Amino acid sequence: MTQPTTTVDLKRQLTLFDAVMINAGTMIASAVFIVPATVAAAANGSALMTAVWVIGGLVSLLGALSVAELAAAYPEAGGQYAYLRESYGMVWAFLYGWANFAVINTASIAAIAVGFARYIGFFRDTPLSESAIRIIAIASIIVLTLINCRGVRLGATMQNVMTTLKIVALVALIVTSFVLPGGSPANVQPLWTDAGFGQWIAPFGVAMVAVLWAYDGWIETTYVGSEITNPSRNLPRSIILSTLIVVALYVLVSIAFVYVLSPAAMAGSELVASDAAKVTMGRSGAALVVVAILISTLGANNGIILTAARIPYAMARQGMFFRSQGLVHSAYATPVVALLTQGAIACAFTLVPKCLSIPGVFSICSSRPLYDQLATYVVFAQFVFYAMSAWAVIRLRRTAPDLPRPYRTWGYPLTPIVFIVFAVWLVGNTIVETPKDSAIGAGLILLGLPGYWYWKNVRRAP
């Protein structure tokens, strides 16, 4: 069998269509089928719920418009890793790369896999046990990782098919919700919560974390910047187009669920998408929707697995990570070791217990579902670096005015500034509302500091 080697580089094989499908397919994951129930429980009132999805979409679009400028200027493997390196120096780039390796992308893979496994329980008379959910999640991660080890073209083709199917499924779910019997305009009541501003703003923030987790993925195609053809044109277009497509779908899906189920019924539903389909199409229709959801979650994880391994690959190629992570298979032209390592960490995240304790020393327990815990880790860590990347657009305009910029951020400087303000608020609100999970997310980022010191001062020393 042909062995991995450091002499082989990644190849430009991905088109604009591939890039859009990677981004859109990564964004459309299990979250849109599960998170509406979380939003309904936190934001009481159909108009308030819709506002969460609209605002979350606009925030994601502002971030996409900002990062698109950096993507066109630095079409490299690793995406944000390169932008932070050029803007703030290696320490911040390393912490970002470490955070993705340790929590952001690996926990995302785990959370989506858990959502996939949870929906398999629809076909049983009784819900799957927690252990069964974890086993199925791990199995799905292993299979997708091995597929992407076999070549980027194979992974991209699989992504194109799955993303097309999930978009068709979402459109069908939206249309049937309004066309078939079962829904009612009366279900949209109440439009707004009776609580005062001070009482609903904090839960609104919690709902926003869940929504932004659902939208997350708009940056995914930047990780494979070194494998996209005509990157100065195709990278920014793919980021913006995919974000617009997903925002439109998510807002319409949220409205469709309210029309069929009502906010109160959504808040009490664990499988909100299949429950809505069951009302309009019966159990057989709901089963078809669940099949589409399973395809959707697999497609999302395929996109993350395909792209995210390029971050440790880029770090290793610059001597700032384990050398093995930079190995590229001579036949498949994929970073096989990085892919396998990423898969192993994601599998480990599916085993996160509800309680972490050392008898007589400390005990940290969470009453929140595993899915919500992992989502908080991801959103907290991701938005710290999203804010830094948005500021990098402004910083590089001053420090590198002659840098070729094939695409310039629309609405500059207001676009990145608004995004930064919202990101700072979101991180602060997450700390206040979920301090334990936020602390874990921050701790996982800071664990990268000893690694940075080691690779900077020991491994790279002459």
The CA distance from 167 to 88, in Å, is 38
372-404 confidence digits (pLDDT tens): 666 666 677 788 888 999 999 999 999 999 999
CA distances from 50 to 55, 110, 440, 456 (A): 9, 27, 30, 47
Q: Which of 1-5, 58-62, 296-300, 387-391 is predicted with the least confidence, judged by mean pLDDT?
A: 1-5
Residue 361 has pLDDT above 60, yes or no: no
**The predicted structure's pLDDT at residue 6:** 47
Q: Among 358, 353, 372, 293, which Cα is nearest to 131's?
A: 353
pLDDT, average across residues 191-213: 70
Residue 179 has pLDDT above 60, yes or no: yes
CA angle in degrees (0–180, nearest 5) for 292-296-299: 135
**The predicted structure's pLDDT at residue 290:** 80
**The predicted structure's pLDDT at residue 373:** 61
> Over pLDDT 90: what percentage of the chain?
27
pLDDT, average across residues 23-50: 81
Q: Is residue 98 part of a domain?
A: yes
> Over pLDDT 70: what percentage of the chain?
89
Residue 34 has pLDDT above 80, yes or no: no
Task: Name the packing angle between helices 197-215 and 370-399 (round to 10°).
Answer: 80
Q: Is residue 461 part of a domain?
A: no
pLDDT, average across residues 73-79: 87
Q: Is residue 149 part of a domain?
A: yes
**The predicted structure's pLDDT at residue 28:** 87
Give the residue with greater pLDDT, 4 vs 176.
Answer: 176
The CA distance from 117 to 296, in Å, is 12
Q: Is residue 309 part of a domain?
A: yes
pTM: 0.80
**The predicted structure's pLDDT at residue 402:** 92
SS3 string, the chain, reads CCCEECCCCCCCCECHHHHHHHHHHHHCCCHHHHHHHHHHHHCCCHHHHHHHHHHHHHHHHHHHHHHHHHHHHCCCECCHHHHHHHHHCHHHHHHHHHHHHHHHHHHHHHHHHHHHHHHHHHHCCCCCCHHHHHHHHHHHHHHHHHHHHCCHHHHHHHHHHHHHHHHHHHHHHHHHHHHCECECHHHHCCCCCCCCHHHHHHHHHHHHHHHHHHHCCCCHHHHEHHHECCHHHHHHHHHHHHHHHHHHHHHHHHHHHHHHHCHHHHHCCCCHHHHHHHHHHHHHHHHHHHHHHHHHHHHHHHHHHHHHCHHHHHHHHCCCCCHHHHCEECCCCCCHHHHHHHHHHHHHHCCCCCEEEECCCEEEECCCCHHHHHHHHHHHHHHHHHHHHHHHHHHHHHHCCCCCCCCCCCCCCHHHHHHHHHHHHHHHHHHHHCHHHHHHHHHHHHCHHHHHHHHHHHHCCC
| Cβ partners under 8 Å of residue 46, min gap 6 | 188, 189, 190, 191, 255, 258, 263
pLDDT, average across residues 340-369: 66
Residue 74 has pLDDT above 60, yes or no: yes
Q: Is residue 347 part of a domain?
A: yes
pLDDT, average across residues 292-320: 89
Confidence label for 364 from pLDDT (cuts 50, 70 and 90):
very low
Confidence label for 2 from pLDDT (cuts 50, 70 and 90):
very low
**The predicted structure's pLDDT at residue 423:** 86
**The predicted structure's pLDDT at residue 103:** 77
Q: Is residue 462 part of a domain?
A: no
Residue 203 has pLDDT above 80, yes or no: no
On the CB side of 400, how many CA atoms lie within 13 Å of its CA? 15
**The predicted structure's pLDDT at residue 8:** 57
The CA distance from 284 to 119, in Å, is 15
CB 274 within 8 A of CB 293: yes
Mean pLDDT of the chain: 83
The CA distance from 374 to 364, in Å, is 15
Give the residue with greater pLDDT, 329 vs 123.
Answer: 329
**The predicted structure's pLDDT at residue 419:** 92
Confidence label for 4 from pLDDT (cuts 50, 70 and 90):
very low
Q: Among 156, 185, 151, which Cα is nearest to 21's?
A: 156
Q: Which of 286-295, 335-344, 418-427 is predicted with the least confidence, judged by mean pLDDT?
A: 286-295
**The predicted structure's pLDDT at residue 252:** 93
Q: How many domains does the chain have?
A: 1
The CA distance from 92 to 97, in Å, is 9
Domain extent, residue 397, equals 4-456
Confidence label for 196 from pLDDT (cuts 50, 70 and 90):
low
Confidence label for 77 from pLDDT (cuts 50, 70 and 90):
confident
130-161 confidence digits (pLDDT tens): 888 899 999 999 999 999 999 888 888 989 99
Which CATH number does the domain housing residue 353 bear?
1.20.1740.10
